Copies of this chain bind each other. A is one copy, B any other.
């Protein structure tokens, strides 16, 4: 089945102590859509300006991503610039130019409104609501978020969380949202906000699912070298929903492997700047790492 993905479609300029990588394809929706595209059809909802490189459009297309929902409008594409320290753990934002993103209203093409799986990738909760308002009885709705929305749009976000099947956030956001250091207590508190599935991402330590069938501890794929972690969280959730949409039967039967696949796609994401590595990976390479993760965790 298809996945609809809404979020930011951006140009990312990523600096490290060793290199500068200007105007890479980035944004939460780009990473999530590319990750989901390994598993089945993706409908992308976003906005880009007239400076958006034609080669990035072609890149989406080569991955079979439907672009009817990608608005192309006059003005500049959302541009984010950030710098990592040498250990790739600490990041600081150098520049955020919203451009055409500032006035973005995600209006869905009619053909998108019945997409069964929906991923509201990181974007303002008001826009996530707006997309959901246009959907007709989706089978499964997941959303990601970021610390910014917890600070500036908490009421919107809390209202959104009630409408979700799955809510995905990282550990520091879970702590900020619940006031709880302990991730297992935080998970319980987040469940009370509405979603059936709560996933807390813990970066290189993997992620934790809380679901009706209990907890699942999902490992990260071991990487001896992290080139650029930008978009890893988006790749994780994109891979996860892509796998779920392609699987047959109840969500509960597939959500654990879906997280493993998401984790593997995120590992590839970290091995190149922007989407450079992800876009060169094959499904066979993904399957290979999933098998490895199985071996690395069996006892």
**Of A19-27, A96-104, A221-229, the one with at least 4 CB within 8 A of chain B:** A221-229
Chain A's interface: helix, strand, loop or mixed, by majority?
mixed
Q: A256 in the interface, Cβ–Cβ < 8 Å?
A: yes
Q: What is the oligomeric copy number?
A: 2
Provide the A76-91 mask, 1 if CB < 8 A to any CB of B, else 0.
0000000000010100
Chain A residues within 8 Å of chain B by Cβ, number: 33
Q: A296 in the interface, Cβ–Cβ < 8 Å?
A: yes
Docked CA distance A257–B297 (Å): 11
Docked CA distance A216–B219 (Å): 11
Docked CA distance A185–B88 (Å): 15
CB of A249, distance to nearest CB on chain B (Å): 15
Contact (Cβ within 8 A) A182 B295: no
Provide the A193-213 mask, 1 if CB < 8 A to any CB of B, else 0.
000000000101100100000
Whose C-beta in chain B lies nearest to the C-beta of A89? B181
Most buried by B among A183, A215, A299: A299
Docked CA distance A208–B256 (Å): 21
CB of A64, distance to nearest CB on chain B (Å): 26
Contact (Cβ within 8 A) A185 B224: yes
A217/B214 contact (C-beta < 8 A), A182-B224, A257-B299, A299-B257 known: no
Q: A56 in the interface, Cβ–Cβ < 8 Å?
A: no
Residues of A142-170 contacting chain B, CB below 8 A: none
Docked CA distance A295–B214 (Å): 9
Q: A192 in the interface, Cβ–Cβ < 8 Å?
A: no
Q: A36 in the interface, Cβ–Cβ < 8 Å?
A: no
CB of A42, distance to nearest CB on chain B (Å): 24
On chain B, the residues within 8 Å of A298 by CB distance are 256
CB of A257, distance to nearest CB on chain B (Å): 5
Whose C-beta in chain B lies nearest to the C-beta of A186? B224
CB of A115, distance to nearest CB on chain B (Å): 26
On chain B, the residues within 8 Å of A208 by CB distance are 222
Docked CA distance A297–B260 (Å): 11
Contact (Cβ within 8 A) B184 A224: yes
Docked CA distance A256–B222 (Å): 17
The 8 closest A-B CB pairs, nearest first, are: A256-B299, A87-B181, A205-B205, A184-B224, A217-B219, A217-B296, A184-B222, A257-B299
Seen from chain A, the residues whose Cβ lies within 8 Å of a Cβ on chain B are 87, 89, 181-185, 188, 202, 204-205, 208, 214-219, 222-226, 256-257, 259-260, 294-299
Additional A-B contacts beyond A217-B219, A217-B296, A259-B299 (8; CB < 8 A): A182-B224, A184-B223, A205-B205, A215-B296, A216-B299, A217-B222, A217-B297, A260-B299
